[in-house]
Amino acid sequence: MKALAGVLINVLLLSGVVVGALGNYCLPSDSCWPTSAVVSIFKNEMLTDGKTTVLVEGDQGWPGKSLTYNQALAKTPGMVVYATTVLHIRRAIQFAKQHNIKISVVSSGHSFLGRCGDEGAMQISVVNMKDIQIDLDCPESPFGCITTQSGVTWGEAFREASILHRGATSTISKEDREKTDLSSSYLSESGLSLGGCQINEYSSFYEYEMTIPNSTYGVTYIGGSLIQEDLLSISTSDTFVKHYTKAYERSKIDPTYNLIGTATWVGGAVKDIPVDEVPVHPGWRNAIFSFTAGTGWDPVTTDPTDRIQGVKEFHEDLARFSSGKYYNEAEPDMAPSQWKKEFWSDSAYEKLVDIKKAWDPQNIFTCNQCIGSDWMRNEPVFG
């Protein structure tokens, strides 16, 4: 997919407003926060079909907390901009820089690390930016190219692609699919059944997207591991058996206890791109699947300390079979030295820091465990 990556870069170039010192943000409780009169003018500048796209606390439709899959890490923004055009984004960034307000960005909210919001930030929501363009004659691919705005989900993108290709969309090669059978055989040899292991075949990714349950927004703690093909062994599945057996025994004592896991097979064209050409972790080149394990709880009645510790221990045990983590499904409280290495690798992170300093030297764009997020504030404490 060719995303509109140039949008934010162009926006930053054209915003051209100098702000204060690094990390010295203006918050809603500060005297520097824009007055209601200033906000009113801003709202009138940000109209779609006669309605403002800007909301602040007290407005009808105010969301309260930021939209994120993991409500345990939801934050309270200072204002929300529901952008529908590139001009909206450009003007919102100008306003934020003029008033020294930090910016967070959200689309669907698929981040279990709380990246979609920050306390007192201007949250720019692109959920309504849904334009999709398909070019069957693009030079980059014999199958055509799809260019989307940032609010488009994978399900929506694959639906459009499926219409043109009559369902013939695939992200994993036949060779990679055969390797998933190897993984399944390891699980079977270890005696891991837990109700049975079943592999479903789908004619397209869109069919898969339409089959899985809708995501829910709850309180959870999640960890992730990219399991490497060359490290996969019977010991890998022994580790799964160990932790799921513990979880099963625990659930017999406490019926509310849960340990949920998903394994997403990876591979395909991602393995053909040289490591130095893209910033994603090198572990994606050799991983056979991305494994996510997490737990949820009732925040009113349950102390999650031991549940969180169980997830951490699971992924610590998987570390000997793993290199890298999926960016949206990983432990939200890793130390900076760990998340930099696990999401990008140390060398790739340093290159990204140089880009960040060139385009966003005041660190206006912020989020948890993102490039430069450790420059001026502590990582959020989970709880």
208 assigned to some structural domain = no
User: Do 102 and 113 touch, CB atoms closer than 8 A?
Assistant: no
The DSSP annotation for 223-253 comes to EEEEEEGGG-SHHHHHHHHHHHHHHHHHHHH
- Whether residues 121 and 16 fall in one domain: yes
213 assigned to some structural domain = no
Residue 360: strand, helix, or coil: coil
Q: Which domain holds residue 121?
A: 1-152+346-383
Model pLDDT for residues 324-349, shown as the tens digit of each residue: 999 889 999 999 999 999 999 999 99
Chain centroid to Cα 258, Å, comes to 23
164 assigned to some structural domain = no
Model pLDDT for residues 229-247, shown as the tens digit of each residue: 889 888 988 999 899 889 8
242 assigned to some structural domain = yes
pTM of this structure = 0.79
DSSP β-ladder status, 103-106 and 122-125 = parallel
Domain total in the chain: 2
- Whether residues 122 and 183 fall in one domain: no
The DSSP annotation for 201-229 comes to --SSHHHHHHHSPPP--B-EEEEEEEEEG
- Whether residues 178 and 128 fall in one domain: no
| Structure confidence at residue 208 (pLDDT) | 64
Model pLDDT for residues 116-151, shown as the tens digit of each residue: 888 899 999 999 999 999 888 888 888 788 899 989
Q: Which residues of the chain have pLDDT under 70?
A: 1-23, 164-217, 376-383
Label residue 102 left, alpha or beta by phi (over 0 means left) and psi (-120 to 50 means alpha).
Answer: beta
- Whether residues 104 and 148 fall in one domain: yes
